[in-house]
Amino acid sequence: MPKNYRQLAEGIKARINPENFSLEKSFSDELSKISYSDVLTYIRMSMKSVEPEYTQKSKDAGEKVKEHLSKELKDVSFKYQGSVMTNTHIKGYSDIDLLTICEKFYQPDNYGINRILENSEQRIKFSSSLVKLEREVNKTSYEGNAIEDLRNLRINSEKILLGIYTNCEIYKPKSIKIKNLNLNREVDVVISNWYDDVASIINDKGEYRGIQVYNKDTNSRGEADYPFLSIKRINDKSIITSGRLKKMIRFLKNTKAISEQEIDLSSFDINAICFDINITEYQYLSFYELVPVIYNHMKKIDNDNLKADSLVSVDGREYIFRGNSSKKENLKKLLIEVESIFLDLKSTLRL
């Protein structure tokens, strides 16, 4: 059954601009030039960013929470993570993740560091960074109780936010969710600590630092995530491509969202698929020319097991499809959706 692209485009418009703010004149002019084609209008709309007024409200809601917490908490810092920070979110009313990071301690990957220091071949490989690694393992270890610190930070954060927000959920194990009723935005407050692996240490930390999220149900910390390096890499690469990388990410997210099938691919996965495309393949292309680039890349991943198994996350630390047949099946579902759009585009433009 053919897609009703006009209806789908209106649905995206309502999702990214629910209060119907005036669109930028340049974008409105662009839409008017392609209004003869519903599929072109859909593609362009699916690649558009959320209007900045909405994104700013999400950030403002996060800043309000930060302000309340910082007045009463000690030894903490705050960072944001998620698609709002790369402007690849596809909802006007997007929530935002506020990492509340305990600064009483940080967790170095001592096992990974010692594996290098105790192996002669590895010492040669990392010869220029040995001083940094040795300095890290020779630091005095934290004498406090890290888990207890995180538990207290969670309890105190809950107490503060319950006293301020009438809409405050404290039952999720990994986050406290509040809703700022004035701004109509939700904020997820995530208790965590810094984690420094070898890559973080030899690159002087910064965006290479990881975080471990506290789980109050199990009173434990999870595996390390590296959201800041991913944010930096997506933002940097998108600057080089004049926003085209982010357009492709939004296109896949919206295409997944409109599908009648349940497609179990996360933003993390979609970011990796688009980030993996060689810049030279799309750096100077117009918006509709990005669709065959995405389609061909996904098809290559689907058809080539070696390609699929080698695809890594944006931070370079995780394999996306290796050993995960279920995820590959979901890639196939999304590929079918993209192929349908590609064929309709091809027919429209007689490519």
Q: Provide mean pLDDT across the span 73-84.
A: 97
In eight-state DSSP terms, residue 50 is P
Poorest-pLDDT segment among 23-27, 64-68, 260-264, 268-272: 23-27
pLDDT score of 348: 86
100 contacts: CB under 8 Å, gap ≥ 6: 69, 73, 76, 78, 153, 157, 189, 190, 191, 192
Within 10 angstroms of residue 173's Cβ, the number of other Cβ atoms is: 14
238 and 168, same domain (yes or no): no
**Measured distance CA(192)–CA(174) in Å, rounded:** 9
Full residue range of the structural domain in which residue 148 is found: 53-225
* pLDDT digit string, tens, across residues 144-190: 999 999 999 999 999 999 999 999 999 999 999 999 999 999 999 99
Q: Is the dihedral of CA 325, 330, 331, 332 positive or negative?
A: positive
> What is the residue type of 42?
Y
pLDDT tens readout for residues 290-308: 999 999 999 999 999 999 9
3-state helix, strand, coil in the chain (%, to 5): 55, 15, 30
For 65, the token pair is 């929470």
Rounded to whole angstroms, how far apart are CA atoms 43 and 46? 5
The predicted structure's pLDDT at residue 30: 72
Asked whether the predicted pLDDT for residue 17 surpasses 60, the reply is: yes
User: At 216, which CATH number?
Assistant: 3.30.460
Which pLDDT band holds residue 334 (cuts at 50, 70, 90)?
A: very high
Whole-prediction pTM value? Answer: 0.93
pLDDT of residue 8: 92
Q: Are residues 131 and 150 in the same domain?
A: yes
One-character DSSP codes across 97-164:
EEEEEEEEEEEE-HHHHHHHHT-HHHHHHTGGGHHHHHHHHTSPPP-S-HHHHHHHHHHHHHHHHHTT
**Is residue 303 domain-shared with residue 213, that is, in the same domain?**
no
**177 - beta bridge partners?**
169, 188
Q: Which of 160, 194, 225 is the last residue of a domain?
A: 225
pLDDT of residue 252: 98
Q: Are residues 206 and 77 in the same domain?
A: yes
Q: What is the pLDDT of residue 1?
A: 59
Predicted confidence (pLDDT) per residue in 233-274, tens digit:
999 999 999 999 999 999 999 999 999 999 999 999 999 999
Residues 221 and 235 in one domain: no
- What per-residue confidence (pLDDT) applies to 169? 97
Taking the CA atoms of residue 19, residue 25, residue 26 and residue 27 in that order, the dihedral angle to the nearest 10 degrees is 30
Average pLDDT value for residue range 37-46: 93
Res 319: pLDDT: 96
Measured distance CA(238)–CA(83) in Å, rounded? 14
Q: Are residues 256 and 345 in the same domain?
A: yes
> Cα separation of 77 and 189, whole Å?
12
User: Are 122 and 281 a contacting pair, CB within 8 Å?
Assistant: no
Chain-centroid distance of CA 169 in Å reads 23
Residues 70 and 213 in one domain: yes
Q: Enumerate long-range contacts of 56-61, CB under 8 Å, 24 or more apart.
A: 57/183, 57/184, 57/185, 58/84, 58/89, 58/94, 58/95, 58/96, 58/185, 59/84, 59/96, 60/183, 60/185, 61/96, 61/180, 61/183, 61/185, 61/186, 61/187
Give residue-wise pLDDT tens across range 84-132.
Answer: 999 999 998 999 999 999 999 999 999 999 999 999 999 999 999 999 9
Residue-wise pLDDT for 310-332, tens only, equals 999 999 999 999 999 999 999 99
Rounded to 5°, the CA angle 240-244-245 comes to 80
Of 225, 253, 286, the residue that ends a domain is 225
Same domain, 205 and 236: no
Confidence at residue 16, expressed as pLDDT on a 0 to 100 scale: 87
pLDDT above 60 (res 351): no
Average pLDDT, the chain: 94
Work out how many domains the chain is built from and give that number. 2
Domain termination residue (choose one: 225, 260, 294):
225
